[in-house]
Structure 1
Amino acid sequence: MTDQLQQQHGPWINPLRDPNDKRLPRIAGPSGMVIFGVTGDLARKKLLPAIYDLANRGLLPAGFPLVGYGRRDWDQSDFQDYVRKAVEAGARTEFRENVWHRLAEGMHFVTGNFDDDQAFDNLANKLEELDSERGSAGNWAFYLSVPPDFFSDVCHQLQRSGLAQAGPQQWRRVIVEKPFGHNQETATKLNELINSVFEEKSVFRIDHYLGKETVQNILALRFANQLFDPMWNSHYVDHVQITMAEDIGLGGRAGYYDGIGAARDVIQNHLIQLLALVAMEEPIDFTPEQLQAEKIKVLKATRAVEPLAKTTARGQYTSGWQGSEFAKGLREEEGFDPDSTTETYAACTLEINSRRWAGVPFYLRTGKRLGRRVTEIALVFKDAPHQPFPEGSRHAQGQNVVVIRVQPDEGMIMRFGSKVPGSAMEVRDVNMDFSYSEAFTEESPEAYERLILDALLDEASLFPTNEEVELSWQILDPILEFWAENGRPDEYPAGTWGPESADRMLSRFGRAWRRP
C-alpha cells in the first residue's frame, strides 16, 4: 500500500518532522533516468550500483524507471540480467531481493545508435509509456556516459525528438561526464552545444571528487570552526600541496589516455576544484548560486606561476618495482604509442592574486605508478618568527601541517611540535589524527550516489558550472601549450614519487613534496 501511495503522490514525509531539518534524508520526487553508454565501464562499475544503493536506502521514488540506451539487441530481461550482475558486483549496500524486484520492474532497454532518428522516437514513446505506468510525471534525467565526441549527436536527437523539452510542471536535465573539452576553446564549444539544447540550470557536470564526504568536509572544517579561520591565509600558510597519486598504470585505458594525459585528466577538474574549495571565501549560505560564485572568484584570480620551465614538471613512468611486484613501463603498455609525449605525471605551481592568498604557492601534482594511492590536501605553515628554545632542541621538528585526507583512510591530520618527555627541552613532531571510520558509525555514501541524487533533487552545489570549467582551462592551457612546444616528458621509475624535475620545483625555495 505504501508503494502505491508513493507511486501516486511521491515520497511520503512524516508530517511530525521538520521539513527544513537538514539531518533528514532527502528523497527524490517522481522521476526517472536514461543512461546513454549504459554498457560502458563507468555505468557498470559505478552508476548502476549507485542507483541500486539509492533505492536500497529508500531515497528513490518507489516507481523509479531506469532506461538504458545502446546498440545491443537486448530486451527487458537481458537488460535486467546485465544490471543485476553489475549491482551484485559493485553495490555498497546489502543485496535485497524485494528492493531489486521493485527496481527491476522499471528497467527497460532501447536499442539504437546515437544518430538513429527512429530509435530516439522509440525512446520518446517508451518514456511517455513509463510516465503513465511508473508515475515518473514527465521528469527525466539523461545521463551522457559517453565520450564527448557523441554529445552532439545525443543532444541533437534529444532536441529533435522533443525529449529535451519539459511540459508544464515537469523537468528535463542532462548529466555530463568529464572530460569537459580538451582545452578552453573546445570546452566553450561544448558548453555552447549543450546549452543550445538545455538551459544551464538543467546541466549537471559530474566531477565525482566533489561527491566525496571528505571533500565536502572542507566546507565544514573551514566555516564551522573558528579554530582554523584566523590562520587560513598568507600570514600563516607557507604553501599548499594538493596531491592525487595512483599506484596503478594505464592498464586497458592506454588508447583513451594517449593524447589526454594526467593534467587534462585530473588537474583541470579534480585538483583545481579542490583548490577552489580550499581557497574560497565564506559564502553567504550553501545554496548552489553562492558556492559557485565564491569558487568563480577564486578561479578568476588564479594563474600559473612563471617561468613554466621551472614551475611545472611532467613525466612518463618506466618499469620498476611497485611494492613487491615488478611493473612494466608506459611504452610497454599495450595500445600506447611509444613515441607519444602524453604525460602520466603532471605538477604545476599556481598562485591566487587575492588579499588572503597573495604570495602563497599552490603546488598541484598527479601521477600514475607512484609510491601509493592517495589524495590529500596539505596546508604547510610558516615557522614561528621567534624560537626561544635552545639550539639543537628542535632538530626533529618540521613545519606545522594540516592534512585533509580525501582517500583512502578519509580524515584529517594535524602535525605540530611537542616536548619529548625527559629533563631536556627537546621538541619533536607529533600527529593528531581524525578518522572518519572511527569517529562516525555511519558509512559514507559513494560519490556517485550523492551526485545522482543531487541531480534528481535539482541540488547543483557540487556540480561545476560552464564558467568554472572554462576558467579551469584558462588556468591550465598556458602550461599545456608550453609542454607541447618543449620536447618529451622526463622519466621516473614505477613505484617512485615522480621525476626529479618535480622535486626541483620545490627545492628551489627550500621546500619538498610530502611523502604520504
Structure 2
Amino acid sequence: MSVTPATHASLLTIFGATGDLAQRMLLPSLYSLQAERLLPEGMRILGTARSELDREGFAQLVADSIQQRIPAHERSEEALRGLLERLDYLPASADDDASMAALAARVQALRAGDVLYHMSTAPKFYGPACQALAAHGAAGPGTRVMLEKPIGKDLASAIAINDAVARAFDEERVYRVDHYLGKEGVQNLIALRFGNALFEPLWNARHVEQVQITVAETVGVEGRGDYYDDAGALRDMLQNHLLQLLCLVAMEPPARFDPTAVRNEKIKVLRSLRAIDASNVATESVAGQYTAGAIDGAAVPGYVEELGRPSRTETFVALRAHVDNWRWSGVPFYLRTGKRLPARSTEIYLQFRKVPYSIFGGAAAADMRPNGLLIKLQPEERIELDLMSKTPGLDRHGLRLSQVALDLDFHQEFSSARRRIAYERLYLDAIEGNGTLFVRRDETEAAWQWVDAIAAGWRDAGMLPRPYPAGTWGPGAAISLVDRLGHGWRE
C-alpha cells in the first residue's frame, strides 16, 4: 500500500489541553520549540477539553504554565507572545456529538494543510474522539493522531482501542507515544550502539553475562491512586517503558534509521521473549507493595494508607527475562521498577563476562571485576565504562588492580546545550510526520500479550505482592531473583 508523504502540520489540536500532562510537559515543550523558532511558520495550536474556557482563559493558563515550568533565564516575552498568538480554544467532549461537530468545524476553519491531533486524555476516549472526528469529516487524508501510552490495561482492551482508532486513522497516521523514547539518554543509547564500531562485536551472549534495566521512583502514588490501583507497576511502567528500553538494547541493527526498519527490529525482540506464565512465574518474577518507611530521612506512609483502602496492587516488580534468539540466548535480562525506592534512577547496565584466565596471582586475582557498561537516563544522562586498571604504587608485594570508570558526563561535555523535555523531540517529529520514535500497533499488542501472561500467572499461583519498607530496594525476594545465578543488582 502506498503512503502519501506527510508534510508539516499546519494545526496542532490537543485534547486534554488543560490537564496535568499538558501543563507539566506539553505546553512548556511547545514554548521551547517556539523560543528556538522550530515550530512551522503559521502553525496554529487548538486546545480542547471539558473545561469551559474561552481563548483568553486558555492563553492565561498557558502563560501560567510557562511561568511555573520554564526557568526564569529561559523565559522570553517575545517567545511567549509568539506562542500565545498561535492559540485557540474550544470546549468539547468525546461523548457530546454537538461539541465534537463544532470542534471539527473549527479544525477545518483553522487548518491550512496537515492536522496533528494529540490525545492527552484517558485511553477510553481515544476511540470515541477519533470516530467523532471521522464522522464530521476531520480525520481524512492529511491528518494524524498521537496517542499517549499505555494503550488499554491488557491485550483485549488494547485491541479494542486500536480497532476503534483504526476505523478513523490508518496505522501510518497513528503515533503512539512512549515519552521515554524522546529522552536524550535513549537517543544516546541508539548512537552508542549503531554509531560506534567498538561495541557491536561485543553486544551478544558471547561477551555479555547479564543486562539490568532499572526504573526507580522515590515518589508514591501522588493523587493518582485510583488510576494506579487499577494498573500497578506491571502495567503502568514495565509494559511500556521497560520493554521499550529492552527492545533498544536487544534489537538487531536496523537497515536504516527510519520508522519501518526500527520498528521491525523491535517487534522481533518482543516476539523472542520467553513466556513467563503459571509454569515459571514464581521463579522468574517478584511483586511487592511498599509499607511505611522513610525517603531522604522523611517518614512516608505505606501504599494502603495513601490509597485509603486495602489493596493487592503491586508497586514494585522485578523480572528475569530471556530473549531467545542467537544473539542473546542464555543472557538474563533483569527488569526492575517500583515506587518509594531509595533513589530516582533510570539506567541500563550491561555486565560483560570475566576474562577467561587471570595472569595475575595473589591479591590481584581477587581484585578482578568484570567490565561493565552503564547507561544512565535520569536524573542525569551519563555513559560509564568500568575497566580494570593497575593501582598506583611500586608493587613490591605484588601488582594490585582497581576498577576505574571512563565517564562521559553529558552535562559537562555539552554544558552549553539546554536539557530538553522529551516531548520537544516527539512533538517536532510528529509535526514533521516522522514516526521513528513512536510505537507501532503490533509492538503494543505483543508487549501486552507477554505482560498478560505474567499477570495471569500471578493470579493462578495465588501470588500476592510482598511487603517492602519505603526507602528500600524492594522485597528481599528480588535479591534472590538475581542471586540464584550468581548476580547482584547494581545499586
C-alpha contact (below 8 Å) 1:244/1:366 kept by paired residues: yes
Residues 29-64 of structure 1: per-residue CA shift (max 9 Å, x gap):
351111111121101110111111111111112322
Per the alignment, residue 258 of structure 2 pairs with 287
Give the C-alpha shift of residue 213 in structure 1: 1.2
Structure 2 counterpart of 1:494, which letter? A
Give the C-alpha shift of residue 394 in structure 1: 3.6
For 1:365 and 1:181, the matched residues in 2 are separated by: 22
Q: TM-score, normalised by structure 1?
A: 0.90
Per the alignment, residue 4 of structure 1 pairs with none
For 1:487 and 1:223, the matched residues in 2 are separated by: 41
Per the alignment, residue 429 of structure 1 pairs with 403
Query: Would you say 1:327 and 2:300 are equivalent positions?
Result: yes
For 1:130 and 1:453, the matched residues in 2 are separated by: 20
- RMSD over aligned CA atoms reads 1.6
Out of 63, 76, 80, the residue aligned to residue 96 of structure 1 is 76
For 1:297 and 1:487, the matched residues in 2 are separated by: 30
Per the alignment, residue 113 of structure 1 pairs with 93
Give the C-alpha shift of residue 388 in structure 1: 1.6
Query: Would you say 1:449 and 2:424 are equivalent positions?
Result: yes
Per the alignment, residue 441 of structure 2 pairs with 466
Which gives a bigger RCO, structure 1 or 2 (Cα 8 Å, sep 6+)? 2
Per the alignment, residue 385 of structure 1 pairs with 356
Per the alignment, residue 318 of structure 1 pairs with 291
Per the alignment, residue 378 of structure 2 pairs with 407
Per the alignment, residue 69 of structure 1 pairs with 48
C-alpha contact (below 8 Å) 2:318/2:335 kept by paired residues: yes
Structure 1 counterpart of 2:29, which letter? A
C-alpha contact (below 8 Å) 1:420/1:428 kept by paired residues: yes
Per the alignment, residue 209 of structure 2 pairs with 238
Per the alignment, residue 474 of structure 2 pairs with 498
For 2:158 and 2:355, the matched residues in 1 are separated by: 44
Per the alignment, residue 268 of structure 1 pairs with 239
For 2:189 and 2:48, the matched residues in 1 are separated by: 37
* DSSP 3-state at the match of 1:375: strand
For 1:312 and 1:509, the matched residues in 2 are separated by: 14
C-alpha contact (below 8 Å) 2:295/2:342 kept by paired residues: yes
For 1:304 and 1:511, the matched residues in 2 are separated by: 22
Per the alignment, residue 12 of structure 2 pairs with 33
**Percent identical residues:** 41
Give the C-alpha shift of residue 91 in structure 1: 3.0
Structure 1 counterpart of 2:479, which letter? D
C-alpha contact (below 8 Å) 1:37/1:43 kept by paired residues: yes
- The structure 1 segments of at least 4 consecutive aligned residues displaced by more than 6 Å after TM superposition are none
Structure 2 counterpart of 1:214, which letter? G
Structure 2 counterpart of 1:493, which letter? P
Give the C-alpha shift of residue 105 in structure 1: 2.1
Q: TM-score, normalised by structure 2?
A: 0.94
For 1:297 and 1:232, the matched residues in 2 are separated by: 17
Query: How many residues are aligned here?
Result: 478
Out of 106, 110, 119, the residue aligned to residue 126 of structure 1 is 106
For 1:347 and 1:451, the matched residues in 2 are separated by: 29
Give the C-alpha shift of residue 464 in structure 1: 0.8
Per the alignment, residue 14 of structure 1 pairs with none
Per the alignment, residue 153 of structure 1 pairs with 128
Give the C-alpha shift of residue 119 in structure 1: 1.2
Give the C-alpha shift of residue 113 in structure 1: 2.2
Per the alignment, residue 413 of structure 2 pairs with 439
* DSSP 3-state at the match of 1:143: strand
For 2:298 and 2:186, the matched residues in 1 are separated by: 32
Residues 465-515 of structure 1: per-residue CA shift (max 9 Å, x gap):
000111111221211111223242001111111101111101111111110
Query: Would you say 1:48 and 2:27 are equivalent positions?
Result: yes
Per the alignment, residue 4 of structure 2 pairs with none
